[in-house]
Amino acid sequence: MAAEQEAEGRAAARPLLSDLYQVTMALGYWRAGRARDPADFELFFRRCPFGGAFALAAGLRDCVRFLRTFRLRDGDVQFLASVLPPDTEPAFFEHLLALDCSEVTLRALPEGSLAFPGVPLLQVSGPLLVVQLLETPLLCLVSYARWDPGLPGEDWAPWGGAWTSGEWGPSGLIATNAARLRLIAGPEKRLLEFGLRRAQGPDGGLTASTYSYLGGFDASSNMLAGQLRGVPVAGTMAHSFITSFSGTEVPPDPMLAPAADQGPRVDLAACVEAWLERVCAHLGLGAQEPHRGERAAFVAYALAFPRAFNGLLDTYSVQRSGLPNFLAVALALGQLGYRAVGVRLDSGDLLQQAQEIRRLFRTISAQFQVPWLESVPIAVSNDIDEEELARLAQEGSEVNVIGIGTSVVTCPRQPSLGCVYKLVSVGGQPRMKLTEDPEKQTLPGSKAAFRLLGPDGSLLLDVLQLAEEPPPQAGQELRVWPRGAQESCTVRPAHVEPLLRLWVQQGQLCEPLPSLAESRAFAQLSLSRLSPAHRRLEQPALYQVALSEKLQALVDRLSARGPL
Q: How many CB atoms lie within 10 A of CB 146?
A: 29
Q: Which is nearer to a second copy, 398 or 462 (CB)?
A: 398
> In whole angstroms, what is the distance from residue 463 CA to residue 447 CA?
10
Q: Write b or e for each residue in 427-449: b if 16 or more Cβ atoms lie within 10 A of its Cβ, otherwise e.
A: eeebbbeeeeeeeeebbbbbbbb
> In whole angstroms, what is the distance from residue 24 CA to residue 379 CA?
54
Q: Which is nearer to a second copy, 20 or 366 (CB)?
A: 20
Q: Which is nearer to a second copy, 143 or 400 (CB)?
A: 143
Q: Which is nearer to a second copy, 48 or 527 (CB)?
A: 48
- Please list the alpha-helical segments (H only) found in 32-118: 60-69, 74-83, 90-98
What sign for the dihedral angle of Cα 443, 444, 449, 452? Answer: negative
> In whole angstroms, what is the distance from residue 491 CA to residue 552 CA?
16
In 3D space, the residue among 153, 358, 143, 346 whose CA is nearest the CA of residue 241 turns out to be 346
In the complex, what is the shortest distance from the CB of residue 510 to a second copy, in angstroms, rounded to a whole number?
26
Helix 350-367 vs helix 323-335: angle between axes, to the nearest 10 degrees? Answer: 40
In the complex, what is the shortest distance from the CB of residue 474 to a second copy, in angstroms, rounded to a whole number?
36
Q: Are 64 and 513 spatial neighbours (Cβ–Cβ below 8 Å)?
A: yes
Q: Which is nearer to a second copy, 223 or 541 (CB)?
A: 223
The DSSP letter of residue 160 is -
In the complex, what is the shortest distance from the CB of residue 159 to a second copy, in angstroms, rounded to a whole number?
19
In the complex, what is the shortest distance from the CB of residue 148 to a second copy, in angstroms, rounded to a whole number?
12
Q: Which is nearer to a second copy, 353 or 446 (CB)?
A: 353
In the complex, what is the shortest distance from the CB of residue 480 to a second copy, in angstroms, rounded to a whole number?
25
Q: Which is nearer to a second copy, 95 or 451 (CB)?
A: 95
In the complex, what is the shortest distance from the CB of residue 225 to a second copy, in angstroms, rounded to a whole number?
9
Q: Are 61 and 518 spatial neighbours (Cβ–Cβ below 8 Å)?
A: no
Q: Which is nearer to a second copy, 40 or 462 (CB)?
A: 40
Q: Are 311 and 345 spatial neighbours (Cβ–Cβ below 8 Å)?
A: no
In this structure, the dihedral spanned by the alpha carbons of residues 413, 173, 234 and 181, taken in order and rounded to 10 degrees, is -50
Q: Which is nearer to a second copy, 20 or 533 (CB)?
A: 20
Q: Which is nearer to a second copy, 104 or 199 (CB)?
A: 199
CA atoms within 13 A on the CB side of 61: 26
In the complex, what is the shortest distance from the CB of residue 420 to a second copy, in angstroms, rounded to a whole number?
9
> In whole angstroms, what is the distance from residue 526 CA to residue 50 CA?
19
Residues 6+ apart with CB under 8 A from 163: 13, 14, 15, 66, 69, 70, 71, 137
In the complex, what is the shortest distance from the CB of residue 455 to a second copy, in angstroms, rounded to a whole number?
41
- Please list the alpha-helical segments (H only) found in 341-476: 350-367, 386-392, 406-409
In the complex, what is the shortest distance from the CB of residue 373 to a second copy, in angstroms, rounded to a whole number?
22
> In whole angstroms, what is the distance from residue 543 CA to residue 524 CA?
18
In the complex, what is the shortest distance from the CB of residue 370 to a second copy, in angstroms, rounded to a whole number?
22
